[in-house]
Amino acid sequence: MKREHSISVKNLTKKFGDFTAVDAISFTVKKGEIFGFLGANGAGKTTAMKMLIGISKPTSGEAEVAGFDVYKSTEKIKKNIGYMSQKFALYDDLTVRENAQFFGGIYGLSKKVIKERTQAFISELGIDDIADHLVGSLPLGWKQKLAFSVALLHRPQIIFLDEPTGGVDPITRRQFWEMIYKQAHQGTTIFVTTHYMDEAEYCDRVSIMVAGKIEALDSPENLRKQFAVNSMNEVFLKLARG
Amino acid sequence: MKRFIGFIKKEFFHIFRDKRSLFILFGMPIAQILLFGFAVTNEINNVKLAIYDQANDVESQKLIQNIASSSYFDVEKMLYNKEEVAATFKQGQVKAILIFEPDFAKKLTKEGVADIQVVTDATEPNTAMTITNYIAAIIKKYNDNFNKITTTPYQIQTNSRMLYNPELKSVFMFVPGVMTIILMLVSAMMTSISITREKEIGTMEILLVSPLKPLQVILGKVFPYIFLSIINAVVILLLGFFVFGMPMQGSLFLLGLESILFIISALALGILISTISETQQTAMMISLMGLLLPVILLSGFIFPIASMPKPLQWLSNIVPATWYIIIIKGIMLKGVGLLTLWKESLILLGMTLFFILLSVKKYKIRLE
């Protein structure tokens, strides 16, 4: 059976006591789509994302990720998704290969498969000379590209990127987005949160969260038309300021 | 299982590539045990004494001879008038002065009572107390001999004997104490730091998003430290045994089991600390203030529990180290087994289970 949607969410809600962090959001993400998940700090996007990747239980609502229910099948979801956070999160005191070996290992990949796939991304990035260096000695831009490659080792259907380009220079950001495009073309669904509005323009569709609700959801082009402005930045400001 | 082994391998990479943790893990136990064993000690040796002998007769000379010939005291100076007594103290040349009353021998033989005044420099109260006790012991021995010769009827002799540690070696106190501190430090502090480190650098999130179960993550984090703690305990015991002549009267097997129990309780505390701290520094401070200080101050390692104020005595009861120290001292020095130590062992077991439950619960709440 071929599924249309990688992620489908209906009235998903998360409450912490009296505070509603995520308020009945609904959306779907198509297979191979680059989906931008935007919102100001505290708008609830991290909480929403945590429910989708299976480390936070929703209060109510429905959600399916990679075809699995977020209440019942978090284990299966975890096997089928990749995740990369804003902290990049490779171990500084391990080498590139050791990091790949470790993270591939916890996804249950065999040594041989890990070796092949590691060599593949090392050749692709052209970093044979630093593959046995400690990650801590590499520049930030490299770390982040490596973290992305390592997060893809187990070939997830969907990859969640939580502000993946925070604190890196524009050139590296550009290169990083090229990597993202390439993955999307190969059919991986990309779910990305970001603070950079120019990055929002790269997405196929964008949702903007304000105070726990999704206030806008469409392609960047349509959103600009809808709000009669010239850039995503203005769309965002209009919404965030109410 | 294969995933778990990979996890542990990674954990050992962290430990062996970090010079600081290597030092804490292996340098500190050895440094501490040698420091406590050789430098920090309650024993007195070659204490300088002055004597103001107003009697200068046969008996006073004999007693002075006895004191001077012991290894504890060196007679530094003879004094000849009262003014010199105060002056000698002020200059700080001696720790104690013995003053014999005039007609010492006459009074002793005729009246049966003679006075010796022992004046000590109590700016260091513990030393002063110890010196007084040692001098009193020498005088008592002399007194007993004296009584034997004169064969007075109906005399009562107290005869004290120091059990288990006849030479009052303080190292017998310190080896169990240092072992407790090190196990606490390695198990609780190092685990809490290594778990919060993963939180700080963001890898904890990645691990939780992975198919690894949270329990596997935590077990993977603590397992290497169980292993290293056991190695440390063995190193400390070997040092105690070969360098300081620490006795090992009881069952080594039981000692091992009790130590593992204590290590697990410390690990549970470490996990508990990691659930309430966001940074490595917080974890370290909480471990030092919340765990290490009670172990040093309240466990009876340095200050005897019996001489603490009541509220502190109650408090010392909830420190797991208190029970562990009682247990290992019992096993090593007295050679007793579970038959005697079952109560202490049960308390330690109860505490361990409690801490495990609490940390699992806390950890789960965090994940919600």
CATH at B85: 3.40.1710.10
Q: What element of type H or E holds B91?
A: helix B82-91
Q: What is the pLDDT of residue B152?
A: 54
Number of domains in chain A: 1
Q: Residue A162 domain-assigned?
A: yes
Same domain, residue pair B181 and B78: no
Same domain, residue pair B202 and B299: yes
Chain A CA closest to residue B197: A91
Q: Residue A13 domain-assigned?
A: no
Same domain, residue pair B238 and B266: yes
Q: Residue B327 domain-assigned?
A: yes
Specify whether the CB–CB gap between B246 and B41 falls below 8 A: no
Closest CA to A161 of A177, A140, A185: A177
Residue B22 touches partner A, C-beta closer than 8 Å: no
Q: Residue A59 domain-assigned?
A: no
Query: What residues have CB less than 8 Å from B58, skipping those under 6 apart?
Result: B105
The CA distance from A46 to B163, in Å, is 65
What strands lie across the sheet with B96-100, from one edge to the other? B73-79, B47-53, B96-100, B116-120
Q: Residue A160 domain-assigned?
A: yes
Same domain, residue pair B77 and B18: no
Residue B144 touches partner A, C-beta closer than 8 Å: no
Q: What is the pLDDT of residue B240?
A: 84
Q: Which portions of chain B are predicted below pLDDT 50?
A: 153-158
Q: Which portions of chain A are predicted below pLDDT 70?
A: 1-3, 88, 242
DSSP codes of every residue in B194-240: HHHHHHHHTHHHHHHHSSS-HHHHHHHHHHHHHHHHHHHHHHHHHHH
pTM assigned to the model: 0.76
A108 vs B208, B209, B211: nearest CB: B211
Closest CA to A102 of A154, A157, A163: A154
Q: Residue B158 domain-assigned?
A: no
Predicted ipTM of the assembly: 0.86
The CA distance from B311 to B98, in Å, is 39
Residue A86 touches partner B, C-beta closer than 8 Å: yes
The B residues from 168 to 227 touching A (CB cutoff 8 Å) are: 201-203, 205-212
Q: Given an 8 Å threshold on Cβ–Cβ distance, is A91 in contact with B203? A: yes
Number of domains in chain B: 2
Range of the domain at A212: 33-46+74-240
Specify whether the CB–CB gap between A184 and A148 falls below 8 A: no
φ, ψ of residue A6 to 5 degrees: the values are -80, -40
Same domain, residue pair B62 and B181: no
Residue B10 touches partner A, C-beta closer than 8 Å: yes
- The β-bridge partners of A206 are A36, A218
- Residue A27: left (phi > 0), alpha (psi -120 to 50), or beta? beta
Q: Given an 8 Å threshold on Cβ–Cβ distance, is B201 in contact with A56? A: no
Query: What residues have CB less than 8 Å from B88, skipping those under 6 apart?
Result: B50, B77, B79, B94, B97
Q: Residue A12 domain-assigned?
A: no
Chain A CA closest to residue B201: A89
Q: What is the pLDDT of residue A43?
A: 86
Residue B156 touches partner A, C-beta closer than 8 Å: no
Closest CA to B191 of B230, B215, B221, B212: B221
Residue type, B260: I
- Tell me the HSE value of A242 on the side-chain side, using a 13 A CA sphere: 3
Same domain, residue pair B105 and B199: no
Same domain, residue pair B208 and B346: yes
Q: Residue A157 domain-assigned?
A: yes
Closest CA to A98 of B184, B11, B32: B11
The CA distance from A167 to A86, in Å, is 9
Cα-to-chain-centroid distance, residue B262 = 17
Q: Given an 8 Å threshold on Cβ–Cβ distance, is B209 in contact with A101? A: no
Range of the domain at B83: 47-150
- The β-bridge partners of A10 are A62
Same domain, residue pair B202 and B336: yes
Same domain, residue pair B195 and B326: yes
Q: Given an 8 Å threshold on Cβ–Cβ distance, is B211 in contact with A55? A: no
Same domain, residue pair B36 and B63: no
Q: Residue B156 domain-assigned?
A: no
CATH at A154: 3.40.50.300
Same domain, residue pair B287 and B209: yes
Same domain, residue pair B246 and B114: no
Cα-only R_g, chain B: 28
φ, ψ of residue A82 to 5 degrees: the values are -115, 160
Residue A227 touches partner B, C-beta closer than 8 Å: no
Query: Which residues of B are less than 8 Å from A88 in CB distance?
Result: 202
User: Is the Cα torsion angle B278, B283, B286, B290 positive or negative in sign?
Assistant: positive
Q: What is the pLDDT of residue B154?
A: 46
